[in-house]
A and B are shown apart, each in its own frame.
Chain A
Amino acid sequence: MSATPEKPDRPRVLLVDDYPDAREMYTEYLEFSGYEVIGAGNGLEALQRAVDASPDIILMDLSLPVMDGWEATRRLKADQRTASIPVVALTGHALAGISEGAKKAGCDAFVTKPCLPEDLVREIKRILDAPSTTRKPRRSGKYAKSS
């Protein structure tokens, strides 16, 4: 899908969004910006992908079908295998209190949609560059993109 050649040290991003156009747009831009992107359309799928692909960061839309982003984040943070992966909440609901709820569910950062692709990339860079003791070391991209 991308013309950019794969680099072995590209950070892997799990992008969870039920709106395909948005998912596609962000995927395209992230890959353009040098990331490897795995997509998921709902919370349940996101859990599966997170375990399978061990991404470096998860971008989680909060309003999702099947299982919403809050529940998915809670489960990710409860699972030892995925607990250390930073989760950035993405939502169109800029209502006050939502960011609190997201933090409570275990999200590490919060981004309000609409969010321009470049703003999102800036946020991802900020989180991945921040020193963290709990963060796993960057992994090589030996897993192929699932979709």
Chain B
Amino acid sequence: MPARAAALVAVAAPRRAAAKRNGSAAPYTGIPRVRVAVDTGAGDDAEMLAVRVRLLEGFVARAELSDCTQLALQWLAEVLGFTRSICLVRPEAEQSLFVVGSWGMTTSTVASYTVSLEDWNNPLVTAFNHRKELFFPAPHSAADRKRRPSTPFEDAAFHAVPLGVSGFSEDSFGILLVAGSEAIGADFHWFVSVFSQRIDQILRQQALTEGDRKQGRERSLLYSIINAVTDPILLTDTEGRLLIANARALTLFTASEEESEGRRGAVRMNNMLLSSALSSKAIEETGATRRELLLVNPVDGSDLVFELLSTVTEDPRQGSGVVSILRNVTDLRRASEEIEENYRKMRIAEVQARAESDRLNLIIDSVADPIVVTDAAGATSLMNEPAERLFTIPQRASEIEQRWVQANDAHFSSFIAGMLVSADQRRVGEIGLVDPKTGEAMPVEAIAGKILSEHGELTAVVTILHDRREAIEKALLYEQLKQASDELERKIQAATADIAQQNELLRRQAIELEQASALKSQFLANMSHEFRTPLNAMLGYTSMLLQGVAGDLEPPVKRQLGRIESNGRHLLTIINEILDISRIEAGRMPLQLSTFRIPELVGEVKAELEPIIMRSKLTITVDVPRDLKPITSDRQKVKQILLNLLSNALKFTHHGGVTIAARQHAKERTMTLSVTDTGIGIAPADQDRVFEDFRQLDNSPTRAYGGTGLGLSICRRLAQMLDGEITVQSQVGKGSTFMLALPVKGRK
């Protein structure tokens, strides 16, 4: 650069001369000549103004630090006459000042010149640090020379002017060394001021572009690093929106419009899963710990298991975000699951095998039947305890016992020999053994099976012997039992058939009886009606005769007609009672509910029996409260019951009186009507029987009291129809009380 500067001086010098000659600002290479009014602060020297403008125009046209410096130093030399100058600038982050341009110097002299800012003894450093202009006159002695900083100017006098911009920072960014002993004036200061500003501008711009480039490089480096990572990496904002994602993450969480619907669906699903995993709540709950996240592979739809590591980053400028790293653990998990499963299977197999062998031992030991294992040559290799009893000679065995065991052995051996030569896999046969303890014949069933090795070679024969004695005995017993059972069954069948026949018979009889009973009731009802028609005429005529319809009667005739009438009435009563019983039995006496008052009813009953009462000369007391509430029941039936009870009382009482009483019991919602007499009374044993059909306690043909004996029976039935009941309390010789209890509100 200094070489070029020197060349520039060489061409520039004649031009300055030409400019002076023309009396106007000389044309200058690279600087367009424009007249601009600039307040120079140095009077109205028009020429000076022009050259200042030229410098400014040159600055505008040059962006390079070295170009600008070169132009400035050239201007300094040409306009202000400082023909030798050096400009040093401190690059950012450096502790030295470096030459960025020089004028009137040889290249070699400035090429290696630097000023270290750490050299505190150097007066230039002082000038730089304190922004102080210094002048160094030419040295007169060696001591002077020593105090001077060393510069490419050597012993020449020079000015050191710090370069800096006031207002922003007090720091200098460079220093201008100008050779010359003449003082520096206002023009020079103006120059330093604009030059500093321009240099500052360029330096700042450089720093900026340099920073940008550096950042860009770093970013792309960072991107290539995170893209090189095979695990998905994401930066999301607090709302879960994707800010930065590496290539692997992009395939999982983004899809363009052109992609298939399935792929886009998978991506949507993944975003949803990620958002919920990253929801601030989820992170708060689990902290920055590792969590599992199940995603869908958008390429083939398979499940991917990731381990999710999320960390919240706080950035004061960008706001907080979440950095998530997903580690694909699908294969890892599958593998670990497989290992676990295999281990589990192995454990199970081991346990099973052990259990199997234990079980086998247990079975063999617990089997009561003899088991013998023979090898391929027919030699016994294993037998259980029951087998030993048959085939081994016990200690202190008698001769006969030994012989029996030997015989057993021989029989068994021949069975096994037959088995070995045959091609049968299994053989079942019977062997006639002997019980070595008792010498008793012991037929056994032998079941033998061949055990083959993997290669089909015979390794052993297992034989189980089953004592047939018990089975034979059982079969015999079973046969007998079966015969007995058959016999029994035959008998039961016969008996059952008998019973069924009898049941059928009974059923038919029951039906017939029912029909007969219905017929009887119907017959009685009809007969009663038929009886009453003629009786009606008889009673009517008798009554008429007694009333003297046919003229006055002689007293004996009147007495005889009276007998006819009373007997006729008795006959009518009997017929009526029979009719009532048969109606009740035939179910042809329905309830006729009505609401009525008891005092009136009692009055009617008393009135109807008035003739009998008159004849009896008994005292009749009616104890019925007038304020008794009306009851709902079948008035006719209640009246019939009361009539019957009262006429009975009159019939069986010879002295004293009869009391009719009525009471209501609000609590039980019932009322009672009672008839108490001072008559002959009923013995306790007979008190139930009075309600039976056709029952009069005196059953003799010459009984003292008339009546059919049906009255109380009818009363009891009627009371039952009314949901009530009749009870009796009596003492022989003292009298009886018959009491009818009824619900106040009867129901159909």
Contacts and interface: CB of A to CB of B under 8 A. Distances in A.
A32 B543 CA distance: 13
Given A96-B589, A114-B572, A32 B544 contact: yes
Nearest to B541: A25
B588 A118 contact: no
Contact of A21 (B534, B549, B583, B588): B534
A116 B529 contact: no
A125 to B, nearest CB: 16
A94 B525 CA distance: 11
Contact of B588 (A95, A116, A117): A95
A104 interface: no
5 contacts: A22-B536, A22-B540, A28-B544, A114-B572, A118-B543
B592 A96 contact: yes
B532 A116 contact: no
A92 B533 CA distance: 7
A44 B549 CA distance: 32
A115 interface: yes
A22 B541 CA distance: 9
Contacts of A95: 583, 588-589
B539 A19 contact: no
A96 B594 CA distance: 14
Interface in B477-500: none
Nearest to A25: B540
Contacts of A117: 540, 543-544
A93 interface: yes
B587 to A, nearest CB: 11
A118 B545 CA distance: 12
Interface of B: 529, 532-537, 539-541, 543-544, 547, 549, 572, 579, 583, 588-590, 592, 636
A29 to B, nearest CB: 5
Contacts of A96: 588-590, 592, 636
Nearest to B537: A21
Nearest to B579: A94
Contacts of A116: 539-540, 543
A25 to B, nearest CB: 4
Contacts of A110: none
| A-side interface mostly | loop
A25 B579 CA distance: 25
Contacts of B543: 116-118
Interface in A105-133: 113-118
B533 A26 contact: no
A93 to B, nearest CB: 7
Given A96-B590, A114-B572, A22 B539 contact: no
A111 to B, nearest CB: 11
A37 to B, nearest CB: 14
A28 B549 contact: yes
Contacts of B544: 25, 28-29, 32, 117
B179 to A, nearest CB: 157
Given A113-B536, A114-B535, 10 more contacts: A22-B533, A22-B537, A25-B537, A25-B544, A26-B540, A92-B533, A96-B588, A96-B636, A97-B590, A113-B533
B533 A19 contact: yes
Contacts of B532: 92, 113-114
Interface string A17-34: 001011001101100100
A29 B543 CA distance: 10
Can you list the 7 inter-chain pairs with the closest CB atoms, starting with the nearest?
A114-B536, A21-B537, A25-B540, A92-B529, A32-B549, A116-B543, A117-B540
Contacts of A22: 533, 536-537, 540
A96 B583 CA distance: 10
A4 to B, nearest CB: 10
Contacts of B540: 22, 25-26, 29, 114, 116-117
Contacts of A29: 540, 544, 549
The residue among A96, A114, A115 with the most chain B CB atoms within 10 A of its own CB is: A114
Contacts of B549: 28-29, 32
A23 to B, nearest CB: 10
Nearest to B591: A96
A92 B592 CA distance: 19
A32 to B, nearest CB: 5
A118 B636 CA distance: 22
A51 to B, nearest CB: 28
A98 to B, nearest CB: 11
A129 B537 CA distance: 27
A92 B532 CA distance: 7
Contacts of A21: 534, 537
Interface string A67-80: 00000000000000
A114 B533 CA distance: 7
Contact of A19 (B537, B572, B588): B537
Interface in A26-81: 26, 28-29, 32
A94 B578 CA distance: 13
Nearest to A33: B549
A95 B636 CA distance: 12
A93 B547 contact: no
Contacts of B588: 95-96
A117 B536 CA distance: 9
Contacts of A97: 590
A93 B529 contact: yes
A75 B348 CA distance: 103
Nearest to B528: A92
Contacts of B636: 96
B746 to A, nearest CB: 15
Contact of B547 (A19, A25, A94, A118): A118
A32 B551 CA distance: 11
A73 B457 CA distance: 117
A92 B589 CA distance: 15
A94 B541 CA distance: 22
A92 B576 CA distance: 11
A115 B533 CA distance: 10
Nearest to A118: B543
A29 B535 CA distance: 17
A22 B547 CA distance: 18
B282 to A, nearest CB: 87
A28 B588 CA distance: 35
Contacts of A114: 532, 535-536, 539-540, 572
A77 B572 CA distance: 34
A22 B590 CA distance: 29
A115 B536 contact: yes
Contacts of A113: 532-533, 536
Contacts of B537: 19, 21-22, 25
Contacts of B529: 92-93
Contacts of B572: 114
A92 B572 CA distance: 12
A21 B536 CA distance: 10
A118 B549 CA distance: 11
The residue among A19, A25, A115 with the most chain B CB atoms within 10 A of its own CB is: A25
A6 to B, nearest CB: 18
A96 B534 CA distance: 22
Contacts of B536: 22, 92, 113-115
Contacts of B535: 114
A94 B588 CA distance: 11
Contacts of B579: 94
The residue among B533, B534, B541 with the most chain A CB atoms within 10 A of its own CB is: B533
